[in-house]
C-alpha cells in the first residue's frame, strides 16, 4: 500500500522525536491517552491534506476528561467529513506552558524544504502575524549543504527573533540561552536527514514556542511527500577540452554567398590555426567547398570524428541532423545548435522536447551522445588560440586580445557577452562562452568542468535562471572553485516577475526562488554584482588581479572629492585601511620632506591636493602599501604637477606596477577624465594595472569581490 503524500501531525511528531526534538506529549483515539483527569489538553482532528485545522473547527482546548475528549473528536470528524477531508484520526496533546516576551512576538515558524537547493531550513517569526513580521525581519534561509550549525547560530543571534529569545533587546529578559539554541538547530539538521530518508519534501513546524525551561517546542507539525524527479542527465565529460582546443571542426550550413550566418562563422574560424583538412564543411555534393574539404553528411564523421560540430541550420534540419548523429553512435564530441526555435517560445513543433528525449533516453541506456550547446548558441571565444566560433562579423566586433588572461566569461545571453566584449575591449580573458538556451550543456556543467581544471583563474557569469536540477550542482562547483582560491562573480538578472518573464522568453530561463538561490550560491562562495556597472568594475579587478584577496583598502588621490566619495563607500563590505602610530609618524615625516605638510592632512584617505606630482604619489603609495591590502590611486590629470605625456604616464605606470610587484598587493588607478586622457589611462592598463574612470567604480567593484560571504573552508 502506498503511503499518503500528506504527512499528518502524528506522523510528523514521530519524526521530530527521532531527531531529538520535543513535541507535546500526545496520544491518539483508540490508543493510550497519557493524561490525568482535569489536565489541560488540546484536541485536534487530523484529516487528509488538512494543513490549518483551526480554520475547520478541528482544534479545541479543554481539561482532559475521556468522554468529553471522545465527543469532541466525534464532532471534529463530522465537520471534516462534511468538508470533503478524509478522516485520519483524533490527536490529543498536552498544553505546554510557554514563556514569552511582553509586547514582543516570540513564536517561530520553522520550515524544512527539499528543492533545487537541496534541503533548506527557513526560520522566522510564526503565529498569526507571521507575514507582517516577515516584512520587518525577513526569515533566515539556511541551505544545509553549505550552512554549518555554528554559522546558522551566529545568524540567528542577530535576527530579531533570536535577539528577543536571548534577551538582547533593551528592557527584555533572556528566555533561552545560546547552548539550547545550538542543540535545537543541531536537531533540525538531523531532522532534515531523517526527512530525506523518509521521502519527504516539506516539513513545517508552526508555531515553535519556548517552554518555561527555555526549550524550543514545536506545537504543531505537518508535511508532505512528492515523487522525486528523475535525476538530470548531464552531458558527457571532456566537452570543455574540446571547446578550448578543438583538433578538428565541422561546420554545416555554409552558403556560397557572403553575409550568411554559416559563412560568417567560417570566416571567423579561418583565424584558428588548424592543420589543412581539419576544418571540414558538411555540404552534400561538394568534395571541396570554399577551400575546405566537403562531406555529404554527418555519417562521414562516424569513423573520423570532430571535436566540435557547428550546425548553422534551420531548427528542424538541425534537430534531424542531431538525431542521425546520435543514431550512428559517434561523430562529434560537442555540437553547437546555432538556430533558435528549439525549446523556446518560438518552438511550435516540440523540437526541444524531442532533443531532450533523444539525449536522456540515450544516456539512460548508456549509449553515446555528444555534449550539445544551445540552441541559440551564439558561439565561444578562446583568444589565446584565436578561436572564435561566433556568427558576428569581424567588422562589428573587434577580435579579442591575443594576450589572453586567466578569466573565464560565461553568459546565458549571447547579446550580453557581445556588449561586454565591445564595452571592455582591453579585457583579457582565456575563455568566453555564450551558453544560449542550455537545453543540454548548462552553466552548472561548465562550472563543474572548470572546477575539475585546477590552475585556471576566476569565473564571471551572467545568469538569468536555472533549470531543473541545475542549481545544486552549480553551488557545488562554485564551492570547489572557491576552495581552489578562484573568484566566482555573478550578475543575476531577472530579479522581478517581469524580468523573469522576459528572461524565459528569450533564453528559456526558469523562474525560481531568487532569494533562496542567492543565499545558496553566496554560501557556496559566489560574489554578486547588483548592477551591470558593478559587474563591469569587478571584472576590471579580476582581469588585472585574478587572485585578489580581501583586506583593508587605502586611497591616495590629488582630488578632495575622491577622498570624500571614497569614504562614503567604505564599510563592512569594504574595510578602510588605518595607520598605526608609527605609520602616522612616517607619513608626517614624508609629507614634510615633500613640502606638503602644510597642505595635506596626514590621514586616510590621503588627499595630496592638486599640488602633488609623480614623486609624491610614488612615495606615499609605497608607505600606504605597508598598512593596506589594496591601494587605489586617484590621478585627476588636470594640474601641471602631474605629467600626462606619453613618457610621463609610462614612467609613473612603471613605478606603480613595481610597487605592486614588490609588495605583492594590488594597485589600481583611477583617471577621472574624458577622452582627451585616453592615452594617459592606456599607459596604466598596458602596465597591467586595473584602471577606472571613477573612484566610485573602483571601490564598488572591489566591494562586490570582498563581499560578506566567506569562502568555504
What are the pLDDT digits (tens) for 260-314?
999 999 999 999 999 999 999 999 999 999 999 999 999 999 999 999 999 999 9
Please, what is the end-to-end C-alpha distance for the chain in angstroms?
Answer: 45
Residue 175 near residue 164 (C-beta atoms within 8 A): yes
Q: Which residues contact 290 (CB under 8 A, 6 or more apart)?
A: 254, 256, 266, 281
524 confidence band (pLDDT: 50, 70, 90): very high
**Average pLDDT, integer, range 338-366:** 93
List the one residue out of 295, 296, 287, 340 whose CA is nearest residue 318: 340
**Average pLDDT, integer, range 679-708:** 93
Q: Domain coordinates of the chain in residue numbers?
A: 25-95, 100-225, 549-706
Paired residues of 66 in beta bridges: none
pLDDT: which is higher, 82 or 404: 82
Note the helical H segments in 203-289: 239-244, 261-269
pLDDT at 1 over 80: no
- Tell me the pLDDT tens digit for each residue of 146-195: 999 999 999 999 999 999 999 999 989 999 999 999 999 999 999 999 99
Q: In the prediction, which pLDDT does 518 show?
A: 94
129 confidence band (pLDDT: 50, 70, 90): confident
- Burial degree of 580 (CB within 10 A; 0-12, 13-18, 19+): exposed
Q: In the prediction, which pLDDT does 711 show?
A: 36
pLDDT: which is higher, 470 or 495: 470
Give phi and psi for 373, each to the nearest 5.
-100, 140
pLDDT at 553 over 50: yes
**Average pLDDT, integer, range 211-230:** 94
Q: In the prediction, which pLDDT does 504 show?
A: 41
- Tell me the pLDDT tens digit for each residue of 431-458: 999 999 999 999 999 999 999 997 779 9
Residue 430 near residue 456 (C-beta atoms within 8 A): yes
Dihedral over Cα of 156, 161, 165, 170: its sign: positive
Strands (E), 260-406: 279-282, 288-289, 292-295, 306-311, 332-337, 371-373, 379-382, 387-388
The answer to whether domain 549-706 has CATH 3.40.50.261 is yes
- Tell me the pLDDT tens digit for each residue of 634-679: 999 999 999 999 999 999 999 999 999 999 999 999 999 999 999 9
Nine cell digits for residue 429: 580573458
Q: In the prediction, which pLDDT does 2 show?
A: 59
pLDDT at 401 over 70: no
Residue 550 near residue 710 (C-beta atoms within 8 A): no
- Tell me the pLDDT tens digit for each residue of 39-68: 999 999 999 999 999 999 999 999 999 999
- Options 3.30.1130.10, 3.40.50.2300, 3.30.470.20, 2.60.40.1730; CATH for 100-225 is 3.30.470.20
Q: In the prediction, which pLDDT does 103 show?
A: 87
Q: In the prediction, which pLDDT does 33 show?
A: 92
pLDDT at 712 over 50: no
What percentage of the chain has pLDDT greater than the value 70? 96
Question: Which range is most confident: 402-406, 411-415, 453-457, 599-603?
Answer: 411-415
Q: In the prediction, which pLDDT does 139 show?
A: 94
- Tell me the pLDDT tens digit for each residue of 565-605: 999 999 888 999 999 999 999 999 999 999 998 889 999 99
pLDDT at 510 over 60: no
Arithmetic mean of pLDDT over the chain: 93
- How far, CA to CA in Å, does 565 sit from each of 568, 569, 610, 694? 5, 7, 17, 10
pLDDT: which is higher, 157 or 403: 157
- Tell me the pLDDT tens digit for each residue of 494-509: 765 544 444 443 444 4
Q: In the prediction, which pLDDT does 402 show?
A: 62
Q: In the prediction, which pLDDT does 470 show?
A: 95
Q: In the prediction, which pLDDT does 506 show?
A: 40
List the one residue out of 112, 114, 117 whose CA is nearest residue 470: 117
Amino acid at each position: 500500500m502506498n503511503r499518503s503524500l500528506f504527512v499528518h501531525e502524528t506522523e510528523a511528531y514521530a519524526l521530530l522525536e527521532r531527531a531529538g526534538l520535543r513535541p507535546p506529549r500526545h496520544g491518539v483515539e483508540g490508543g493510550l491517552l497519557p493524561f490525568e483527569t482535569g489536565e489541560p489538553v488540546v484536541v485536534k482532528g487530523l484529516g487528509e491534506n488538512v494543513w490549518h485545522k483551526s480554520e475547520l473547527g478541528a482544534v479545541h482546548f479543554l481539561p482532559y476528561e475521556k468522554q468529553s475528549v471522545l465527543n469532541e473528536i466525534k464532532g471534529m470528524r463530522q465537520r471534516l467529513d462534511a468538508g470533503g477531508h478524509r478522516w485520519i484520526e483524533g490527536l490529543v496533546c498536552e498544553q505546554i506552558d510557554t514563556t514569552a516576551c511582553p509586547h514582543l512576538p516570540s513564536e517561530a515558524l520553522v520550515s524544512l524544504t527539499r528543492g533545487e537547493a537541496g534541503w533548506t531550513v527557513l526560520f522566522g517569526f510564526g503565529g498569526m502575524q507571521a507575514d507582517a513580521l516577515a516584512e520587518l525581519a525577513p526569515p533566515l534561509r539556511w541551505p544545509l549543504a553549505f550552512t554549518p550549525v555554528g554559522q546558522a547560530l551566529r545568524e540567528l543571534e542577530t535576527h530579531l527573533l533570536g535577539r528577543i529569545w536571548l534577551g538582547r533587546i533593551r528592557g527584555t529578559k533572556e528566555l533561552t540561552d545560546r547552548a539550547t539554541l545550538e542543540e535545537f538547530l543541531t536537531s533540525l539538521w538531523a531532522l532534515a536527514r531523517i526527512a530525506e530518508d523518509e521521502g519527504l519534501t516539506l516539513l513545517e513546524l508552526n508555531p515553535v514556542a519556548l517552554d518555561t525551561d527555555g526549550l524550543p517546542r514545536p506545537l504543531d507539525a505537518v508535511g508532505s511527500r512528492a515523487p522525486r524527479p528523475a535525476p538530470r542527465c548531464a552531458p558527457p565529460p571532456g566537452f570543455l577540452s574540446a571547446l578550448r582546443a578543438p583538433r578538428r571542426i565541422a561546420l554545416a550550413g555554409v552558403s556560397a554567398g557572403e553575409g550568411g550566418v554559416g559563412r560568417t562563422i567560417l570566416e571567423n574560424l579561418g583565424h584558428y590555426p588548424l592543420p589543412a583538412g581539419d576544418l571540414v564543411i558538411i555540404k552534400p555534393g561538394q568534395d571541396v567547398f570554399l577551400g575546405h574539404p566537403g562531406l555529404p553528411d554527418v555519417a562521414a564523421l562516424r569513423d573520423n570524428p570532430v571535436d566540435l560540430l557547428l550546425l548553422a541550420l534551420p531548427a528542424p534540419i538541425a534537430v534531424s541532423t542531431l538525431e542521425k548523429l546520435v543514431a550512428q553512435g559517434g561523430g562529434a564530441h560537442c555540437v553547437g545548435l546555432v538556430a533558435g526555435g528549439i525549446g523556446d517560445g518560438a518552438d511550435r513543433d516540440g523540437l526541444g522536447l524531442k532533443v531532450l528525449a533523444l539525449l536522456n533516453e540515450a544516456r539512460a541506456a548508456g549509449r553515446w551522445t555528444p555534449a550539445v550547446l544551445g540552441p541559440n548558441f551564439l558561439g565561444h571565444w578562446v583568444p589565446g588560440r584565436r578561436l572564435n566560433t561566433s556568427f558576428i562579423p569581424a567588422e562589428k566586433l573587434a577580435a579579442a586580445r591575443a594576450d589572453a588572461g586567466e578569466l573565464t566569461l560565461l553568459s546565458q545571453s549571447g547579446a550580453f557577452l557581445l556588449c561586454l566584449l565591445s564595452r571592455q575591449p582591453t579585457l583579457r580573458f582565456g575563455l568566453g562562452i555564450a551558453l544560449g538556451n542550455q537545453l543540454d550543456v548548462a552553466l552548472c556543467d561548465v562550472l563543474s568542468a572548470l572546477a575539475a581544471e585546477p590552475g585556471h583563474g576566476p569565473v564571471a557569469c551572467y545568469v538569468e535562471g536555472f533549470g531543473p536540477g541545475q542549481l545544486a550542482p552549480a553551488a557545488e562547483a562554485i564551492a570547489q572553485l572557491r576552495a581552489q582560491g578562484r573568484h566566482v562573480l555573478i550578475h543575476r538578472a531577472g530579479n522581478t516577475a517581469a524580468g523573469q518573464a522576459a528572461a524565459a522568453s528569450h533564453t528559456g530561463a526558469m523562474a525560481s526562488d531568487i532569494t533562496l538561490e542567492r543565499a545558496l550560491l553566496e554560501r557556496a562562495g559566489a560574489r554578486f554584482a547588483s548592477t551591470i556597472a558593478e559587474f563591469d568594475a569587478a571584472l576590471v579587478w579580476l582581469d588585472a588581479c585574478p587572485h585578489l584577496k580581501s583586506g583593508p583598502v587605502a586611497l591616495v588621490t590629488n582630488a578632495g572629492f575622491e577622498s570624500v566619495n571614497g569614504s562614503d563607500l567604505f564599510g563592512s563590505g569594504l574595510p578602510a585601511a588605518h595607520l598605526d602610530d608609527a605609520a602616522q609618524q612616517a607619513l608626517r615625516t614624508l609629507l614634510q620632506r615633500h613640502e606638503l605638510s602644510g597642505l595635506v592632512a596626514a590621514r586616510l584617505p590621503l588627499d595630496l591636493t592638486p599640488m602633488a606630482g609623480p614623486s609624491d604619489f610614488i612615495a606615499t603609495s609605497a608607505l600606504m602599501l605597508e598598512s593596506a591590502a589594496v591601494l587605489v590611486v586617484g590621478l585627476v590629470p588636470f594640474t601641471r604637477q602631474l605629467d600626462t605625456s606619453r613618457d610621463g604616464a609610462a614612467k609613473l605606470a612603471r613605478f606603480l606596477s613595481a610597487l605592486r610587484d614588490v609588495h605583492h598587493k594590488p594597485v589600481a588607478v583611477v583617471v577621472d577624465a574624458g577622452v582627451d586622457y585616453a592615452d594617459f589611462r592606456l599607459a596604466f592598463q598596458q602596465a597591467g594595472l586595473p584602471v577606472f574612470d571613477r573612484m566610485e567604480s573602483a571601490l564598488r567593484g572591489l566591494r562586490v569581490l570582498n563581499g560578506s560571504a566567506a569562502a568555504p573552508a
